[in-house]
Structure 1
Amino acid sequence: MLLQKVWYFKFQQLLAMLSITLLGGCSAIPTMVPDMAMHPAKAVQLDGAHGPLSPKQTKQILAKLEKNGADTNIFDKHLALEAEIVGSPLVVGNQVQLLVDGPSTYNAMFAAIESAKDHINMETFIIENDEIGQHFIDILVSKQRSGVQVNLIYDSVGSMNTPKEFFVPLIESGGNVLEFNPINPLNSRKSWEVSLRDHRKLLIVDGGTAFAGGINISSVYSSGSRGSGSFRKSKSGEGKVPWRDTHLRMSGPVVSEFQKLFIATWNQQKGEPLTVKKYFPETGSQGNEVVRAIGSSPDEPYSQIYSTLLSAINSAETQVFLTNAYFVPDPQLLASLKDAVERGVDVRLLLPAKTDSALVFYASRSYYDELLSAKVKIYERQDALLHAKTALIDGVWSTVGSTNLDWRSFVHNQEINAVILGQSFGTQMQVLFEKDLQSSKEITLETWRKRSISTRIKERAARLWARWL
């Protein structure tokens, strides 16, 4: 039943993309200067709980990051440029917890929601009318009735199979529910462009705790990808392929940056005025992590996450480890990966062997020959449906978020990522990447070129749709 729903969603989405292409042409990813990360920019600025740090404080923190990191100049070559591209600050004093798969992520979310005292802001691409979705609604309704303001944004296409009645209890209890870019043009609050979607997964509790990553609200995540751990109330999921995903729990001053992104989306979608709450409380320092919140929107001239990732790859000196569910790269990303290998960088892609979208799956594989010929290493996760979207560069630059490496994420979607600097968190990311490799199969050029003619035909056909998947 779930696969039928997924295929129906993909089919409807594809029809929408085709109609828009025929009516109004296609969007393109703007060309970024290939060597832009190699040029110096203005001095890096760090922010703390009370605003910008002094140049001396910033210098001390960056020196510590470089001292504890690998032998790389990524801090010198990359960070100042990244600030100019993105605009959001690098924020110190945060605590970041890496969450692997649905069970640990949901239980951490439920604990945060249940402890809420002031407000809960939630933004998600998919919220299903299933066991997991119903549990979220139940606890959100309970918190709303206790006086905690709940504001929920869900995507109209991502949650197209979720009936409107599902949200009624939350609305009747006083919660605010906003449908992002409604499919029905009669309900549109802005210009109607059905291809523009909110793919973010964001939860903010009391302005002091934020969750972001790749996990939607769905029972497909009920079991862990390694067979251990389960959602505490789950009765479903047995016999199904487990989903492998990555999420973050963050606390500290950077939460206010994620809060700004949520409120900006609410206002852009012309939601009802938000109830006055303490959306930006004084959080103080909660840890030692340096974090940047990055949000991309199709309303902007280019994807900030895309340009930031290109900048980081172009700056890499030792390693580029990318984990992604939907890999349909544009020419610039392909060139950056191949150029990195030529510089002696260890470039590895961890991609799915199982998928919920055959078109994306075969389109992705259509790039394998070119990448393998350039000495990019490719691995496919075998025993789970890989849905994570993460990157680790030079062991010190990490990102976790909702952004896929495809045209849809770069051009049409609202996305959200966290960039975390430093070797401590980078080590956790590397351990996780290596664990995933243990359950993966390396694809070699020799064996790849032995694939069947029918498979090659599927790849070529899917490649034709690369820009609209």
Structure 2
Amino acid sequence: MRTKRLRPVALAVAATIVAALLVLNLSIGDKQIDQRFQRIYTIADPQFERTMGVILGPDLAPGNKVQPLLNGEQIFPAMLGAIRSARHSITFETYIFWSGRIGQEFVDALTERARAGVRVHVLLDWIGGQLDDAQLRHLQNNGVHVRRYNTPHWYNLHLLNNRTHRKLLVVDGQIGFTGGVGIADLWRGNGQHPTQWRDTHFQVQGPVVGHMQAAFIDNWLQATGEVLHGDAYLPPLQAAGSQKAQVFTSSPGGGAESMQLMYLLSITSAAKVIRMSAAYFVPDTVAVNALVAAVRRGVKVQIILPGEHLDWEIVRRASRATWGPLLRAGVEIHEYVPSMYHAKVMIVDDLWVSVGSTNFDARSFAINDEANLNIYDRQFAADQHAIFEQDLRRSRRVTLAEWESRGALDKLLDAGAGLISSQL
């Protein structure tokens, strides 16, 4: 009898524990920005640059050279070439690192350098770093220091929801790479076939590489308790070009709102044109209002998103649920046709460019660890504009009439996906 009476109590306790774990696991992190921004300067105003340096930090550093790399056929040879040339250190943080042909090439290159005496550190996301056990053992047995970011235990299962989404590779503390690409065969090729994702990555030289290294060192410290320092990681950096740039980061509990703030300030400060390439675009009400307000003051807004070749259909539905006010205001939404579109680039007033790992959604703004590279340079912005136009020619524009003519079931499914958009 006593056992029967205790059973409901035990079930209730178990249900309470499960509910508490779910609340922790699905927490969106720091409070997101929910107020309308006042527009008091433009992108070209020196105050904009000062604001970005003070609020986001660090200050924009002069003397950089940032080169775009398009799709796997350019990205992977450049990254592998830099790794193979390493003499002192390699620091590599990535969300996606999968087994496969390109994954094996990176494993081989990293282990060869470690055997040669180079200090090699690889930080993988616990969910996204899906190398098989044999490859992981091969890395570790050959001297590569491999760690998982936020490995969950029973007492911290909420960390499952906090992923490192950063894509950072720094070689000898002097040459860096960042952008949208993951280490997987999906990114091979030229982005013009459904099986080959379209993406952009960036090779970086100059003082801003120090910002990239600092971002890696911070998460390596969080994962291992080890501080990386000295000339092998932080050598003196000379000017390599003429571009001003900064790398800044965001993470839950440590400035998660920084990414959202950067995007909202950039949109609010736009005077002429905003061009955005977005792999995952699920704007909240504040972002929608900021984009609509930009159009109403005469700013042209063009957004390229994935089309039918999308890895997460539920994300497309959640995105589509937000399009009504944007399309009615005159925001141009285009869907890329040839393949999955994974580029993450924002160009504002042909002067300010932000690239990196961040998606335009609540997960990137509040839950993930992210890192973006901002470049304040007209020629670089012009070059990115030209790439954007190439993608635009391979895209189809979505009309308001098309959006409004969706069937009742599609509208219901889109609205349902929007309810859970913070977890997508």
Please report the TM-score for the alignment, with normalisation by the length of structure 2.
0.91
Match for residue 44 of structure 2 among 57, 64, 74: 74
CA distance in structure 1 between the aligned counterparts of 2:111 and 2:280, rounded to whole angstroms: 34
- Name the residue aligned to 1:237: none
Q: Are 1:108 and 2:78 counterparts?
A: yes
Which SS does the other structure have where 1:398 is aligned?
A: strand
Tell me the secondary structure at the aligned position of residue 102 of structure 2: helix
* Code of the aligned partner of 1:133: G
Q: Determine if the alignment matches structure 1 residue 263 to structure 2 residue 217.
A: yes
SS in 1 for 2:190: coil
**How high is the sequence identity, in percent, across the aligned residues?**
33
The Cα RMSD (Å) is 2.2
* Counterpart secondary structure, 2:286: helix
Deviation at 1:454, TM superposition (A): 2.5
Q: Please state how far the C-alpha of 1:79 moved relative to its aligned partner.
A: 1.5
Match of 1:35 in 2: 37
Q: Does 1:410 align with 2:365?
A: yes
2:360 aligned counterpart, secondary structure: coil
Aligned residue pair count? 406
SS at match of 1:344: coil
- CA distance in structure 2 between the partners assigned to 1:465 and 1:213 by the alignment: 26
Equivalent residue number for residue 140 of structure 2: 171
1:152 aligns with 2:106: no
8 Å CA contact 1:17–1:468 kept in 2: the answer is no
Write out per-residue CA displacement over residues 273-299 of structure 1, whole angstroms, 9 at most, x where no aligned residue: 548652111221111111111111112
User: 5+ residue gaps in structure 2?
Assistant: 1-17
The answer on whether the counterparts of 1:29 and 1:410 sit within 8 Å (CA) in structure 2 is no
1:439 aligns with 2:408: no
Instruction: Tell me, yes or no, if the aligned pair for 2:95 and 2:167 is still in contact at 8 Å.
Output: yes
CA apart distance, 1:122: 0.2
Gaps of at least 5 residues in structure 1 are 1-15, 40-71, 228-239
Aligned to 2:407: 452
Give 1:53's aligned residue.
Answer: none
- Displacement over 6 Å in runs of 4+: none
Matched, 1:280 2:234: yes
Please name the residue that 2:6 is paired with.
none
- Report the Cα distance in structure 1 between the residues aligned to 2:200 and 2:295, rounded to whole angstroms: 26
Task: Indicate conservation of the 8 Å contact 1:403/1:409, yes or no.
Answer: yes
| Secondary structure of the corresponding residue to residue 221 of structure 2 | helix
Give the Cα separation in 2 of the matches to 1:393 and 1:313.
8
Counterpart residue identity of residue 136, structure 2: F
Following superposition, the deviation at residue 264 of structure 1 comes to 0.7
Relative to the length of structure 1, the TM-score reads: 0.82
- Deviation of 1:31 after TM superposition, in Å, equals 2.3
Alpha-carbon shift at residue 449 of structure 1 (Å): 1.6
Q: 1:383 aligns with which of 338, 343, 350?
A: 338
Indicate if the aligned counterparts of 2:50 and 2:59 stay in contact, CA closer than 8 A: no
Q: Does 1:332 align with 2:278?
A: no
- Match 1:289 to one of 240, 243, 249: 243
For 2:93 and 2:351, the matched residues in 1 are separated by: 29
**Deviation at 1:75?**
3.0
Partner residue of 1:85 out of 55, 60, 71: 55
Q: Secondary structure at the match of 2:335?
A: strand
The answer as to whether partners of 2:25 and 2:160 remain within 8 angstroms in 1 is no
Following TM superposition, by how much is the alpha carbon of 1:466 offset from its aligned partner in structure 2, in angstroms?
Answer: 1.0
CA distance in 2, matches of 1:17, 1:127: 32
Tell me the distance in 2 between the aligned counterparts of 1:290 and 1:316. Answer: 19
3-state secondary structure, aligned to 1:364: helix
Q: Are positions 1:428 and 2:397 aligned together?
A: no
Alpha carbons 1:103, 1:222 under 8 Å: kept: yes
Q: Which residue of 1 aligns with 2:15?
A: none
Segment of structure 1 superposing worse, 218-227 or 322-331: 218-227
